[in-house]
């Protein structure tokens, strides 16, 4: 082994000191981007909710109100309507789901940086984009289904009268799902640190899709409850954000999921009684 002189030791020390510094700057830059996405999503959600609330509602047979946000008015093209919906959907996703996803992203970034993966911030960003792609696909499905149901409700009074009962059943089912093993299994995906550490950009994007699918399954009950009740109510969204975040970061999420599931079942049953006798 060749002996090291004083200058060699100094250079080696500088290299070792500079690596954590670079990793710290990379992680700080990445977290700054994520925080900016969260803040932008929150601002977009608030503005979109206020704008949709101003559109008003339409009274429907069965005693419920249909938001005009689901109705494509004359002069508004289908692509424009779909784009506006998806922009609001992704803003809502960033505001509601992304904050509780940050701990997982930090672990992903730390693992890749610790093993010397090149450009860990870029790969972490690819994970975020894959995660958003999964939510965008879900939003597209919600848009198609919601538009079809809106047309049926506007054109078929009999169907419109069934909607309150169907909504109550959906909320009750969401609570039951919240209590089941299916929810626990997917919640573990959103809580556990990733196993892969050396992944390229394509692999990072696919891993983001995988995490997005798990996040979707975890939040399916809450999103269903929001969509069939009042998705534009900021107080309800804020409550859902708190519960979702608590499920992700609490040492033992079971008490939280059980209380939330029981609450959803209670709300669903109360809604069914109100629809039947109100």
- CA distances 50 to 43, 65, 69, 251, Å, are 11, 17, 11, 36
For residues 116 and 123, the answer to whether their CB atoms sit within 8 Å is: no
Residue 54 confidence (pLDDT):
78
What pLDDT digit, counting tens, does each position of 98-145 carry?
888 888 888 877 777 777 777 777 888 888 899 999 999 999 999 999
Which of 7-21, 63-77, 250-264 has maximum average pLDDT? 250-264
Sign of the alpha-carbon dihedral angle for 244, 250, 254, 255: negative
Q: How far apart are CA 81 and CA 145, in angstroms?
A: 14
Q: Domain-by-domain residue ranges, the chain?
A: 11-277
User: In the chain, which residue ranges form alpha helices assigned H by DSSP?
Assistant: 6-55, 78-96, 98-114, 120-155, 157-179, 181-191, 201-228, 234-249, 254-277
pLDDT digits (tens, 9 = 90+) for 32-48: 888 888 889 889 888 88
Query: In terms of pTM, does the model score above 0.85?
Result: no
- Give the pLDDT confidence score for residue 79 in this predicted structure: 86
Find out whether 209 and 134 touch, Cβ atoms under 8 Å.
yes
Q: Specify the residue for token string 């939330």.
A: 260
- pLDDT digit string, tens, across residues 173-200: 989 988 888 888 888 777 665 555 556 7
Rounded CA gap, 11 and 13, in Å? 5
Note the pLDDT of residue 52: 78
**Average pLDDT of 199-214?**
84
Within its chain, how far is the Cα of 79 from the centroid? 23
- How does residue 156 score in pLDDT terms, banded at 50, 70 and 90? very high
The predicted-structure confidence for 2-40, as pLDDT tens digits, reads as follows: 344 444 433 333 343 444 556 667 677 778 888 888 889
**What sign has the CA pseudo-torsion 186, 240, 258, 105?**
positive
Structure tokens at 202: 């394509």
């Amino acid at each position: 082994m060749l002996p090291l002189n004083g200058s060699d030791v100094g250079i080696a020390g500088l290299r070792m000191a500079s690596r954590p510094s670079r990793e710290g700057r990379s992680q700080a830059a990445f977290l700054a981007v994520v925080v900016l996405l969260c803040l932008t999503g929150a601002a977009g959600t608030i503005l979109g909710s206020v704008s949709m609330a101003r559109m008003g509602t339409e009274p429907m047979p069965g005693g419920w109100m249909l938001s005009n946000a689901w109705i494509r008015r004359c002069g508004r093209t289908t692509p424009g309507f779909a784009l506006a919906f998806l922009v609001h959907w992704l803003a809502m996703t960033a505001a509601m789901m992304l904050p509780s996803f940050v701990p997982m992203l930090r672990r992903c970034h730390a693992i890749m940086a610790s093993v010397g993966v090149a450009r860990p911030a870029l790969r972490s960003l690819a994970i975020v984009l894959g995660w958003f792609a999964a939510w965008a696909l879900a939003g597209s499905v919600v848009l198609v289904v919601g538009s079809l149901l809106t047309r049926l409700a506007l054109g078929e009074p009999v169907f419109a009268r069934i909607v309150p009962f169907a909504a109550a059943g959906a909320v009750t089912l969401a609570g039951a799902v919240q209590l089941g093993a299916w929810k626990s299994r997917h919640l573990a995906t959103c809580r556990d640190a990733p196993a892969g550490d050396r992944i390229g950009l394509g692999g990072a994007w696919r891993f983001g899709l995988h995490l997005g699918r798990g996040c979707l399954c975890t939040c399916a009950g809450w999103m269903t409850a929001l969509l069939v009740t009042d998705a534009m109510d900021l107080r309800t969204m804020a409550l859902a954000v708190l519960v979702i975040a608590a499920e992700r970061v609490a040492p033992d999420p079971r008490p939280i999921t059980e209380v939330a599931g029981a609450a959803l079942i209670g709300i669903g049953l109360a809604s069914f009684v109100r629809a039947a006798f109100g």
